[in-house]
Amino acid sequence: MQIKGKVFIFGDNINTDLIIPARYLLTSDPQELAKYCFEDIRPGFGQRNDVQGSIVIAGENFGSGSSREHAPLAIKGAGIKCVLAKSFSRIFLRNAINIGLPIGELSLINEFKEGDEIEINFSSGKIVNRRTQKTFEIKPYPPFLQEIIISGGWLNYLKTLGTKEER
Amino acid sequence: MSLTLAEKILAKKTGRKVEPGEFLLLEVDVALGNDITAPLAIKEFYQAGGDKIYDPEKIVLVSDHFTPNKDIKSAEQAKQMREFAKTQKIKKYFEIGRGGIEHVLLPEEGIVKPGHLVVGADSHTCTYGALGSLAIGVGSTDLAGVFLAGKVWLKVPPTIKIELIGKPKKYVSGKDIILKIISLLGTEGANYKVLEFSGEGVKNLSMASRFTMANMAIEAGAKTGIFPVDEKVIDYAQERGYKAEPLLPDNSAKYEKIYKFHLNEINLQVARPCLPSNSKDIQEIEKEKIKIDQVVIGSCTNGRLEDLRIAASIMKKSKVHENVRCIVIPGSQKVYYAALQEGLIETFIQSNCVVSPPTCGPCLGGHMGVLAKGERAVATTNRNFRGRMGHPESEIYLASPAVASASALKGFICSPESL
């Protein structure tokens, strides 16, 4: 899988209240949630025209706090193709994998600036920053999680598992 | 054998020894959803071709976040969950007036038991670790997976041991102890790991304190917090009509790290905005005379009867300061009723508090106590993130019911000792 896009930069501890404040959790429609994505840290972000097709790069502990799956859904709904962060909070990581939002751990986030065009190759784990032409690596997922991602999410994986067991 | 508490529960589930880092597919004992997370799980369940759920006995649905419903949209979400419970014959569906805040309710009703593997589409599911269960917060798709197949995927976590020694000082409770621990570990210090609370000091902690501590394990990033099943847990089980067996970690269990805490050295704590790890001793905070607009006493962290007893014993001394609004939220219908019978509710009303029905409401800035721009609150809840309780420019200080009550009376953040 290959992804290209423009980068938006966020800091450390971007918790789920900042990704999608609880006052907007009155729906589970990704398009509706997308309008308020990152609302309390970057007002109006979800309504920008250039968010569609972009890539978010953040610092440590991305997605901490609540278990709300509305957080990765809002990001996905906004058309953000991938989130790269120094580290992810546990429940956010599982939610992203379960719903098929591509994420990756990247340590050298300071090598990226807002607006950089980057390319991510998930099969090789390589990232290229077009501005600097430098190459970086993301940590590959363990095989079990890769299987879930390839299946198209956890529920699809469970269904194929069911048919395997029946055979 | 040399297993931690979490490894023991997982080994029993799989029928073999498990190692940290392994991925497991496991059947759960209990799976929980609420009026925010269940509607999404229901949608995903049907979209994935689900018809009848795998085992309705294992599912618990609680209407507690935006209830009593704050607007039409939240009413629609609650209705969706209510109708799903009926269609799928889920008996453990808790309506308002018959339930309460999920993490106060489930242990109280004897639904979660020691040794259980629990998943909940709510990050504070880890609360049940106080009972010696392995209780893990997950997302809505995970809950949909349990609807579909009764199963969940888990990575066996490494364990950090928190060894507790001695007895806490007067007024110091589970809230202060866990805030102190989080300030040391940081908000991702235990990411993907289990916090196992053990040591001889555990026996000096009430069940309410243990629930508070396990509840906030997530604020250090932990997969869950867990306590051994000792006499206090066994008594707690007996009071709820079931029998529990002791469950202790092995002496030779392998821990990633061990931290020791002398309970008598821990002071009352207050966590400044905007991270739960920002806690300081009350002595330091009190000097600043930080003025407050609102106090919230309640939540899945501190909404139990013992919390209300402490609050009432302090509230009795005076009335809420003229510049402060104080909201008291009993954690469940049962807690509310007991507080009424004990005269605690009368004390709160006479002190000019408003007593709310059980709800998560203000903790997540949902309703029933949302903050305006520039306002400051002391809350016994679990998160003081930016905008968590309302306007992005409002502030939350986290504290125990004792500190919150004293602050409500004085109008600034202070210790009950200063009254």
CATH number given to B270-418: 3.30.499.10
Give B366-416 pLDDT, tens digit per residue.
Answer: 999 999 999 999 999 999 999 999 999 999 999 999 999 999 999 999 999
How many angstroms separate the Cα of B301 from the Cα of each of A133, B92, B124?
49, 22, 9
With an 8 Å Cβ cutoff, are A87 and B387 in contact?
no
Strand order in the sheet with B395-398: B279-281, B269-271, B395-398, B376-379, B294-297, B325-328, B354-355
What residue spans define the domains of chain B?
5-263, 270-418
- Distance between CA atoms of B211 and B128, rounded to whole angstroms? 7
Task: Find the residue in A nearest to B392 (Cα).
Answer: A40
Report residue B318 CA to chain centroid gap. 29
Which residue is it, tokens 């869950």? Answer: B224
Measured between CB atoms, which of B23, B139, B151 is closest to A144?
B23
CB-based contact, B142 to chain A, within 8 Å? yes
Contacts of A91 (CB under 8 A, 6+ apart): A63, A66, A67, B123, B137, B138, B139
Question: Mean pLDDT across the stretch B39-58?
Answer: 97
**Domain CATH number, residue A15:** 3.20.19.10
With an 8 Å Cβ cutoff, are A159 and B71 in contact?
no
pLDDT of residue B328 exceeding 50, the answer is: yes
CB-based contact, B82 to chain A, within 8 Å? no
Report angle CA A135, A136, A139 to the nearest 5 degrees: 150
The answer to the question of residue A163 being in a domain is no
Task: Find the residue in B nearest to A29 (Cα).
Answer: B40
- Distance between CA atoms of B313 and B211, rounded to whole angstroms? 21
Please enumerate, as own/partner, the contacts of A92-96 that have beta carbons within 8 Å and a separation of 24 or more.
Answer: A92/A16, A92/A62, A92/A63, A92/A64, A93/A63, A94/B138, A94/B139, A94/B142, A95/A63, A95/A67, A95/A69, A95/A71, A95/B139, A95/B140, A95/B141, A96/A63, A96/A72
Contacts of A22 in chain B (CB under 8 A): 36, 364-366, 388
The answer to the question of residue A31 being in a domain is yes
Considering only the top CATH level, what class is B5-263? alpha beta
How many angstroms separate the Cα of A66 from the Cα of each of A80, B82, B350?
21, 23, 35
pLDDT of residue A152: 86
With an 8 Å Cβ cutoff, are A65 and B123 in contact?
yes
ipTM of the assembly?
A: 0.94
- Distance between CA atoms of B367 and B355, rounded to whole angstroms? 14
In sequence order, what E strands does B97-172 have? 117-120, 134-137, 151-155, 159-165
Contacts of B226 (CB under 8 A, 6+ apart): B5, B6, B129, B132, B133, B134, B194, B195, B196, B197, B214
pLDDT of residue A163: 56
Confidence of residue A166 (pLDDT cuts 50, 70, 90): very low
- Distance between CA atoms of B236 and B340, rounded to whole angstroms? 22
Contacts of A105 in chain B (CB under 8 A): none
pLDDT above 90 as % of chain A: 85
Residue B220 three-state SS: helix
The answer to the question of residue A158 being in a domain is no
Work out the number of other CB atoms within 10 angstroms of the CB of residue B71.
10
Question: Mean pLDDT across the stretch A123-147?
Answer: 92
Tokens of B382: 């679990």
Q: State chain B's mean pLDDT as an integer.
A: 98
In sequence order, what E strands does B39-112 have? 59-62, 93-94
Confidence of residue A162 (pLDDT cuts 50, 70, 90): low
Q: Please state whether beta strands A117-121 and A2-9 pair in parallel, antiparallel, or not at all (unpaired).
A: antiparallel
The answer to the question of residue A156 being in a domain is no
Into how many domains does chain A fold?
Answer: 1
- Distance between CA atoms of B375 and B373, rounded to whole angstroms? 6
- Distance between CA atoms of B141 and A157, rounded to whole angstroms? 12
What is the DSSP secondary structure assignment for residue B267, as one 8-state letter?
P
With an 8 Å Cβ cutoff, are A65 and B385 in contact?
yes
Contacts of B313 (CB under 8 A, 6+ apart): none
Query: How far does chain A reach from its first CA to its final CA, in angstroms?
Result: 31
Give B56-82 pLDDT, tens digit per residue.
Answer: 999 999 999 999 999 999 999 999 999
Task: Find the residue in A nearest to B276 (Cα).
Answer: A65
The answer to the question of residue A149 being in a domain is no
Q: List the domain range (segments joined by +) for residue A106.
A: 2-140
pLDDT of residue B413: 98
Task: Find the residue in B nearest to A23 (Cα).
Answer: B366
Q: Mutation test of the interface with chain A: which of B23, B34, B40, choosing the one with the most A Cβ atoms within 10 A? A: B40
Report residue B46 CA to chain centroid gap. 30
Question: Across the A/B interface, how many CB contacts are shorter than 8 Å?
Answer: 128
Contact between A133 and A126 under an 8 Å Cβ cutoff? The reply is: no
Cβ under 8 Å to A: B residues 304-363: none
Give B336-351 pLDDT, tens digit per residue.
Answer: 999 999 999 999 999 9
The answer to the question of residue A160 being in a domain is no
Give B92-109 pLDDT, tens digit per residue.
Answer: 999 999 999 999 999 999
Q: State chain A's mean pLDDT as an integer.
A: 93
The nearest CA of chain B is from the CA of A7 a distance in Å of 24
Confidence of residue A167 (pLDDT cuts 50, 70, 90): very low
CB-based contact, B121 to chain A, within 8 Å? yes
Give B2-14 pLDDT, tens digit per residue.
Answer: 999 999 999 999 9
Tokens of B111: 């639904």
How many angstroms separate the Cα of B272 from the Cα of each of B225, B285, B379?
23, 9, 11
